[in-house]
Structure 1
Amino acid sequence: MGQSSGVWGRGPSADYEQLAERFRPAFRLIQAGALERELNRKLLHEEIRLLKEQRFGAMRIPVEEGGFGASIPELFQLLIELSEADSNVTQALRIHFGFVERVLRLPDGDRKRRWLRRIADGAIVGNALTETGGAQVGRYETKLASQGERLRVSGTKFYSTGTLYADWIIVGAEREDGDIVTALVPSTASGVEIADDWEGFGQTLTGSGTTIFRETPVDPDEVYARDTYPAYAAAFAQLVHLSTLAGIGRAAAGDAATAIAERRRTYSHAAAGRSSEDPQVLQIAGRVHSQAYAAGAVVQKAAEAVQRACDAQDAEDAAFADRSSVEAEIEAAQAQTVVARLVLEAASALFDALGASATIRSKALDRYWRNARTIASHNPLIYKERIVGDYAVNGTRPAFAWQTGIGAPVHSDQTTGDGDARPGPPSSSQGFA
């Protein structure tokens, strides 16, 4: 982590340090092997297993249910630290934490208790939501059909992030009546084929490839309607990406500081005999570190908005709850437009301080830019900037889902019978679980 642990600011709560210290030894082990995994394309099975053993996936589960009872800002601060160790791991767990939020908002009953126990025991959920076929925006080619008294799901998904490492898979599908639902199936269920065929130049170990379902059996009690999504779903999902970016920024800053401190060679036209004493090089190191600091601070500010939206869902004032969700979505979009650029610039600027030798493949310093560029390509910045501008200028309500497909855009709010708009969940997307 460089010559210093970084002046990153205090944690989001008085209890944060105690919570984080529980997992930092695991983070250090994950970080120690990150370069080797990158160079040799070694998948994350051991790293995910380590976090499962420590029940990291139960971070948001209440203490009385076997979890750690972390707040949303505490969770995202931990994800920043995990991403500093290896951003692939955080992204592989993104949909899992999204599904946990969904479980927390379920009505009390057998279904909720069953999932609270599974997650507290270490179960990890992966995703099979996005399709790259010919489905229209807001629809699925993947079908959930009845066969007698049984349900079967069939279809092909891509961007199945984390599914290689998951115990359960959440599948987006279309029922025979056209209704869009999600279903949970075990990753070992019959008819499930998971391929490690992700070819992106960044985040290469996340398992974001193809998942195929061939008449895979589905328990009817594991089928979830759209209205089980939390109102703050999209903002939460985006902040996992932003936490990942902030962690990449920290890792880049740490490696840059270490490399500058160790560097012995210099240039005839440099300002000092060593890079560690060169004011121009130190300026770049300071800029990269400051950009990483700013990225983390912005993420935490947006996390506070998502926490407020979460808390507001239990309020009797429906208008207040809705306004809190709108504000959380806008704050997450504002954060995205800034954090992505901060980290991309930091990941590129470190090469100005280190010279051509920094491009040696065995150092893999390029992974920070590649990983950041890949994460920042989700949910395009140009649309988020427009959404923020439209809200600031015209008070226009933001979209609450990220849908992909063929055809005209679909407005992502659901409207209740009384004409009052409510945030709706994503359909064919890389959004919330």
Structure 2
Amino acid sequence: MTHADAVSAIRSLLPGIAGGVLERERERALPRAQVKALTLAGLGRLRIPREDGGEGLGWVELAELLVELAEADSNLPQIFRGHIAFVEHLLAAPPSEHRQAWIDRIVGGDLVGNAWSETGGVALGTNATRATRAADGGWSVTGKKFYTTGSIFADWIDATVDADGTAATALIRTGQPGVRVDDDWDGFGQPVTGTGTAEFTDASVDEADLGAFADRFRYQTAVYQLVLLTVLAGIASATRRDAADAVAARTRTYSHGNATRTQHDPQVLQTIGEIDATAFTARALVNEVARAVQLAADTARDPDGAAHRDAVVAAEFASARAQVVLSQSVPAAATRLFDTLGASAISASRSLDRHWRNARAVASHNPWLFKARQLGDLTVNGTVPDFVWSIGVAAPAG
């Protein structure tokens, strides 16, 4: 199978995926069949090199495909977000038996979820989820995580833990008795991403599958954010599509409008044009961020080299700039859709509000206003911040 064959196999699924998205979102029905079909088609192994059994796609190609998938169903790229980042961690790591074993699992169809965020009053920058030594020489994990996007569909969960006072990551198999993942996500947007609670009770982890968090690949925040940017770009494209289709089909017009058919009303056409410009800009920004991430990936084998350090900084700030722009412009475009139509557009049966709800939910990750402040600090003072984000209860000043 060539790159084109692999991408074509996934693209062939998109019409069917798009056809059921309204029903899935209205009923909050998890897209289990769609995730399975995409996994079987090879979405999870697209970045794995061909010599290892994958497709060897570059980031620009992968990002464009994720935008198309998000246009069909914005929930799906976000479901694969943790998996995509874990695969990138493997690709950036030096060769080893452990790395190869995980590449073989990914090529074989295993899916990896994500569980990094703690619940409750955990101190900022720490993990209440603990990994302790087990009698068999491995590790035992106990704790609770939220925002575990993708984990309810996954064979493994990539979780952050505290291991004897050290920040670490553990790869936890989901099929064991000590793992429970609930679909208790109640967000008004991205409703079927399975972004719920994962609870671990003495869950078993192999010795080789627990590693220091400091050893994670250094451009991971840019990768996580790039996937969300592809979701926003896909939502912008879907908004443009639905707005244009609805205007073209509309036969009623207003007495105070500018034409006998809405499709010829210059004010409506201007609004459609503004939505179109947002969708175009979103794709262009995704492309630029993907190019920056690709450079970070290309230099990752020398993680301490100047070329990689510079590429990581460039990728992180590229993703931040795009996030600042798209977190505002895409929800705004999704709102402008309603300016092109009448009150019938707010019918729940049409679910046109889902574009704003989903865009607003995605834009809430790692709030853009803090990224904008960091960009300002870079521009004025040349400050490069820590790119790893966390959330929790901060200690009082002083």
TM-score in terms of structure 2 length:
0.96
Q: What does 1:41-52 correspond to in 2, within 5 Å?
A: 41-52=28-39
| Alignment match of 1:152 (pick from 134, 140, 150) | 140
Q: Partner amino acid for 2:149? A: T
* 2:58 pairs with 1:38: no
Looking at structure 1, the residues matched to 318 and 272 of structure 2 have their Cα atoms a distance apart, in angstroms, of 29
Match of 1:311 in 2: 298
Residues 15-24 or 144-153, more deviating: 15-24
Contact 1:326 1:398 (8 Å CA) reproduced:
no
Separation in 2, partners of 1:17, 1:192:
38
Deviation at 1:314, TM superposition (A): 3.1
Distance 2:287 2:4 in 1: 15
Equivalent-residue separation in structure 2 for 1:94 and 1:275 (angstroms): 40
Classify the secondary structure of the residue corresponding to 2:120: coil
**Corresponding residue number in structure 2 for 1:407:** 394
Give the Å deviation of 1:315: 4.8
Task: Quote the residue 1:247 is aligned against.
Answer: 234
Aligned amino acid, residue 181 of structure 2: I
Matched, 1:169 2:168: no
Aligned residue in 1 for 2:353: 366
Q: Which residue of 2 aligns with 1:134?
A: 121
Counting only pairs closer than 5 Å after superposition, residues 201-240 of structure 1 correspond to structure 2 as 201-240=188-227
How far did 1:106 drift? 2.0
Tell me the equivalent position of 1:116. Answer: 103
Which range is displaced more, 310-319 or 299-308? Answer: 310-319
Whichever residue aligns with residue 112 of structure 1, its letter is R
Counterpart residue number, 1:327: 314
Residue number in structure 1 paired with 2:363 = 376
2: CA distance between counterparts of 1:263 and 1:16?
Answer: 41
Percent identical? 44
User: 2 CA distance for matches of 1:373 and 1:112?
Assistant: 37
In structure 1, the residue matched to 2:79 is 92
**2:48 corresponds to which residue?**
61
Gaps of 5+ in 2: none
Paired residues of 2:3 and 2:55 also in contact (CA < 8 A): no
Question: What SS is found at the alignment partner of 1:203?
Answer: coil
SS at match of 1:362: coil
Amino acid at match of 2:153: Y
Given that 2:185 and 2:194 are in contact with CA atoms closer than 8 Å, whether structure 1 keeps it comes out as yes
Residues 175 and 301 of structure 1: is their aligned pair in 2 closer, same or farther, counting only changes over 3 Å?
Answer: same
Contact 2:124 2:391 (C-alpha < 8 Å) held by counterparts: yes
Q: Cα gap change, 1:315/1:253 in structure 2, threshold over 3 Å: closer, same or farther?
A: same
TM-score by length of 1: 0.88
Change (3 A) 1:354 1:17: farther
- Higher RCO structure, 1 or 2 (CA under 8 Å, sep 6+): 1
- Compute the displacement of 1:19 (Å): 5.4
Structure 1 pair 116–17 and aligned structure 2 pair: CA distance change class (3 A): closer
Query: CA deviation digits over 1:251-283, x for unaligned, max 9?
Result: 011011111111111111111111112111111
Question: Contact 2:144–2:200 (CA<8 Å) still a contact in 1?
Answer: yes
Q: Does 1:268 align with 2:258?
A: no
Q: Is the 8 A contact 2:173 2:205 kept in 1?
A: no
CA drift at 1:18: 6.1
In structure 2, give the amino acid aligned to 1:240: V
Letter in structure 2 aligned against 1:160: T
1:190 aligns with 2:177: yes
**What secondary structure is seen at the aligned counterpart in 2 of 1:157?**
strand
